[in-house]
Amino acid sequence: MGSPVKITHYYHSGFSVEEDDLLFVFDYWRGEQHELKGRNQITPEQLLAYRKVFVFISHEHIDHMDPIVFTWKDTAPVSYIVSSDMPVGTRGKRMAPGDTLELDPGVRVTAFSSTDLGVSFLLDLHGRKIFHAGDLNFWHWRDESTLREIDEAEQEFRAAVRPLSREKIDVAFFPVDPRQGTMFEAGANYFILQVKPRLLIPMHYFHRTEIILDYVRTAGSRTTEVLAMPGIGDQILLDFDEEGFMTISFPRRDPDDSSEDEGIDHLEDNPFAESDLPLSQLSETDGEAPEDPSAV
């Protein structure tokens, strides 16, 4: 089933997916106050380590499109894949819902609908399917919308999810946004029930870490594991065996790296290092409480 896949969370809805010498970066954003900093942000020099780098931008909202990504092209082998409704002049290959693009032998991406601007992306990485929802969600705003508005939002969301229910998705990055108030998790729960991804990772929660940690404790199902990656710089490794079974593990940080760390602490000698609990909650040292991943 190919080499292990490394997933890194940056900030908000920003993730990267790495396999061998290929890197795929989704909706990278450093934050309004540049909360993403230090060794946890992407630099052009880091990108030189890869044969190909693909940067995906699901839509033009600033929290999904950091202008800095367009400077990477000056140094590294970067290609851009953007939604077809991006402003004229935006660099990149444009994709509308239903479009498929071959990126490398055995690697392709298909664009699906969103319930906001732009598209969502389904990456087929040598048979492993990884979905980034962009702003696809059930945006019902139940505490302030009318019943008609809620019903229209639900119908639009169900229609957008329907084609995805025919896909066998291994990993899904999906919005779980507490700003919606009551039933903020309704979209993610419906997606889990209908699409049944093997692993769902919440995103787009504006670093409301405590709410997401509560959500993941009860959100899983028989077919879907829900895993929080709340810390800036959190990483997981996915291994797929010949029978298609997926194993999740947590890579350890370099003990010689003493640079500032806004995310997870080093896990060496941590008895919980192989746990499936949220990563940033595992980093206890010398009996102290784990670092608050929201303190950036």
> What's the average model confidence in pLDDT over 34-42?
88
β-sheet bridge partners, residue 240: 246
Torsion of CA 4, 124, 207, 72, to 10 degrees: 90
What mean pLDDT value characterizes the chain? 87
Of the chain, the end-to-end C-alpha distance in Å amounts to: 37
Tell me the pLDDT tens digit for each residue of 2-14: 789 999 999 999 9
Nearest Cα residue to 192 out of 217, 151, 164: 164
pLDDT tens by residue, 74-94: 999 999 999 999 998 899 999
**Does the pLDDT of residue 288 top 70, yes or no?**
no
Query: Using CA atoms, how far apart are residues 227 and 238, in angstroms rounded to an integer?
Result: 13
Residues 198, 204, 207, 210, CA torsion sign: negative
**pLDDT at residue 261, rounded to an integer:** 42
Pairing of strands 5-9, 15-19: antiparallel
Q: Is 60 exceeded by the pLDDT of residue 273?
A: no
Residue for token pair 């350890």: 252
CATH T-level assignment (fold) for domain 5-281: Metallo-beta-lactamase; Chain A (3.60.15)
Segment 270-287 shows an average pLDDT of 42
At 194, is the pLDDT very low, low, confident or very high (cuts 50, 70, 90)? very high
Sheet holding 78-83, edge to edge: 93-95, 78-83, 52-57, 22-26, 15-19, 5-9, 235-240, 246-249
Q: Give this prediction's pTM.
A: 0.86
Query: What pLDDT, on the 0 to 100 scale, is given for residue 239?
Result: 95
Residues 217, 123: Cα–Cα separation, whole Å: 27
pLDDT at residue number 215: 96
Structural tokens at position 99:
């479009």
> In terms of pLDDT, which residue wins out, 148 or 291?
148
At 149-193, the pLDDT tens digits run 999 999 999 999 999 999 999 999 999 999 999 999 999 999 999
The whole-number pLDDT of residue 207 equals 84
Question: Domain-by-domain residue ranges, the chain?
Answer: 5-281
Q: How far apart are CA 184 and CA 195, in angstroms?
A: 19
- For residue 95, which of 66, 69, 121 has the smallest C-alpha distance? 121
Average pLDDT over residues 252-276: 43
Return all residues near 74 (Cβ < 8 A) that are at least 6 apart.
44
pLDDT one-digit tens code per residue, 222-249:
999 999 999 999 999 999 998 889 999 9
pLDDT surpassing 50 at residue 283: no
Quick one: pLDDT at residue 295? 31
